[in-house]
Amino acid sequence: MNRFADPGNIRRVAILGTHVPRQCGIATFTADLRTAIAERCPRLDCFVAAVDDPGQAYAYPECVRLAIQQEDPSSYRRAAEALGGRDPDVLNVQHEFGIFGGSAGAYLLDLVRAVRVPVVTTLHTILAQPDVHQWAVMDELLRLSERVVVMSAHGADLLRRVHGTPQRKIDLVHHGIHPVPFHSPAKGGLGLDGRRVLLTFGLLAPDKGIEYVIEAMPAILQAFPGTMYVVLGASHPHVRARLGESYRAMLEDRARRLGVAPSVRFLNRYASLQELSEYLAAADIYLTPYLKTEQITSGTLAYALGAGKAVISTPYHYATELLADGRGILVPVRDAGAIARSVTGLLGDDTRWLAMRRKAAEFGRTMAWPVVASGYLESFSRACRDRAARQAAQARSWTAVQLPLELP
């Protein structure tokens, strides 16, 4: 059933990243990955070293055995020592700019340099034009990593072009997803009975482009009265700390001014997996109208595609790759008219809508968490083999240098 190899002699894996209850996409990903690995290989001890927000101390579950203060450099050094005492066979770093302390997250490098085990780094963001600090930190992290995991072919291409990372060091493993029923259940439990449902979910930030879907709603409602656009998610904690709820307030005000407020439902909370699954199952069309075209991954898009949803998105890199071959529709950035035409076109063509959903669901099977966990276990095994082979080659080289040029 599984095409990936058994992890062999690996006994213990440490994952470094954020972890729930911290509210960020990496935290959810780390928790899901750890659970999937534990279920895929129950004999393996998989635990987490979690990075805390400045000034925060979370009540973590038992699987989180170390906590690192994001902006305290000594905390990273202590964590490296503690990891050494726990004797993992491999360290998996979940990397995203902004979750590690120091300039461009440079404190992370102190920890990675200090650990004495193979490092496999998962890259959630790869910048096409990093600044000098971002480039230096990423380049050093890549050098220290035995292997690198990316979630898209475009990410692998960026690594090769921007950082000169050899292809042999890169593993492509999709973003994991949980199963969602293909056939939509009754919507009545969500108060959406008899409605066409459009959905966007995830942490809110000004680069999400939700205002352009709201601007498209008058034309959508004219063609399909009763359509409801659901925006599910709290404001991103970093955005809320900096801007308060100004972005959400702007969205609500725009809906009122356009006269579509009754048809736009804002659910201002960090959704549980259960609630998210219910709304995904009820959605007729999922939208990611993001404004930044350089985005190389999106957990929300991965979930929607894996759920077999018909998806309309702006052409950021990850969407362009995932929605190819008829798995979704791409519309220009900041184009409410294109969004309206695409939504009404799909809602009015059941044959095309269903065909798109089936293609999405078929592709989504390659992104299920059991498959993704197996991909990571194979990457960990490769990292251990690569490390052993490199150390053996270094030992042979050192031995050769020590030999006298001529025997007496």
Residue 392 domain-assigned (yes or no): yes
Predicted pLDDT of residue 372: 97
Predicted pLDDT of residue 403: 57
- Say yes or no: 79 and 153 in one domain: yes
- Say yes or no: 358 and 378 in one domain: no
- Say yes or no: 272 and 197 in one domain: yes
- Say yes or no: 233 and 344 in one domain: yes
Cα 105 to chain centroid, rounded: 18
- Say yes or no: 60 and 129 in one domain: yes
- Say yes or no: 207 and 350 in one domain: yes
Residue 158 is encoded by which pair of tokens?
């960026």
Number of structural domains, the chain? 2
Predicted pLDDT of residue 408: 53
CATH number at residue 68: 3.40.50.2000
| Segments in the chain below pLDDT 50 | 1-5
Q: Which helix (H) or strand (E) is 39 found in, with range?
A: helix 25-40
- Say yes or no: 22 and 88 in one domain: yes
pLDDT digits (tens, 9 = 90+) for 222-261: 999 999 999 999 998 888 888 899 999 999 999 999 999 9
Residue 402 domain-assigned (yes or no): no
CA distance 264 to 256: 9
Residue 403 domain-assigned (yes or no): no
- Say yes or no: 48 and 107 in one domain: yes
Residue 404 domain-assigned (yes or no): no
Residue 259 domain-assigned (yes or no): yes
- Say yes or no: 233 and 335 in one domain: yes
Q: Outline where 47-169 has alpha helix (H).
A: 73-86, 107-114, 132-144, 153-163
Q: For residue 205, what are the domain limits?
A: 188-366
Residue 69 domain-assigned (yes or no): yes
Residue 125 domain-assigned (yes or no): yes
**Phi-psi category of 80—alpha, beta or left, where left has phi over 0 and alpha has psi -120 to 50?**
alpha
From residue 212, how far is each of 98, 208, 287 by CA, in Å? 27, 9, 11
Contact call for residues 313 and 290 (beta carbons, < 8 A) = yes
Complete DSSP assignment for 322-335:
HTTTTTSEE--TT-
**Phi-psi category of 31—alpha, beta or left, where left has phi over 0 and alpha has psi -120 to 50?**
alpha
CA distance 33 to 384: 19
- Say yes or no: 144 and 286 in one domain: no
Residue 4 domain-assigned (yes or no): no
Predicted pLDDT of residue 6: 61
- Say yes or no: 132 and 216 in one domain: no
- Say yes or no: 206 and 229 in one domain: yes
